[in-house]
Amino acid sequence: MCMAKYEEQSHGFTYDVFLSFRGEDTQHNFIGYLRDALRQRGINAFFDDKNLRIGEDISPALLKAIEESKISVIVFSENYASSRWCLGELVKIMECTKRNNKQLAFPIFYHVDPSDVRHQRKSYGEAMVAHQNRFGKDSENIKAWTAVLSEVADLKGHHIHTG
């Protein structure tokens, strides 16, 4: 009964779940386990395991996968904000959830404090300074990334503490 209800609610989406993560932090442990658990339960998750090279833009296919996913799970890890691609995914995810109230964003704070994400402290602050040095403090990307990090940290999610 629960699965039928879930499938009914997911109608119209290509993917049940889009996973946004920083591969170097989580791909070979947490994300791998999460992806496998979703697959074992018949949940169709988009998992991009290709590493973009410096200078490459997010592919239109990746942006389309975000648009076509019912739920986006964002795994905030220590180096998530150092990737402009992760931040670009995050902006797109939040745009989609605002535009379509049937799409959901669910943050997981993996060994990072949500307040450090919200206020861009520690590794998140360092990453934003590096991006500002590269793109300029007043660039549209910097403004969008700063705003979306503050916004998403206020969403209900899950905090996995170091242990």
Q: What is the pLDDT of residue 112?
A: 96
Per-residue pLDDT tens for 79-113? 999 999 999 999 999 999 999 889 999 999 999 99
**Residue-range domains of the chain with CATH:** 12-160 (3.40.50.10140)
Q: The whole model's pTM is what? A: 0.89
**pLDDT surpasses 90 at 119:** yes
Residue 141 CA to residue 91 CA, distance in Å, equals 9
CA nearest neighbour of 87 among 156, 135, 46: 135
Residue 96 corresponds to which amino acid?
Answer: C
Q: Which position has the higher pLDDT, 53 or 157? A: 157
The residue length of the chain stands at 163
Enumerate the active-site residues: 89
Residue 21 CA to residue 31 CA, distance in Å, equals 8
What is the Cα 32 distance to its own chain's centre? 15
Residue 161 CA to residue 163 CA, distance in Å, equals 6
**pLDDT surpasses 50 at 130:** yes
Token output for 5: 């209800």
* Helix 84-99 / helix 60-67 crossing angle, nearest 10 deg: 40
Q: Are 15 and 45 in contact (CB under 8 A)?
A: yes
Per-residue pLDDT tens for 38-69? 999 999 999 887 654 555 678 898 999 999 99
Q: What is the pLDDT of residue 39?
A: 95
**pLDDT surpasses 60 at 33:** yes
Residue 20 corresponds to which amino acid?
Answer: S
Per-residue pLDDT tens for 1-19? 344 444 444 568 999 999 9
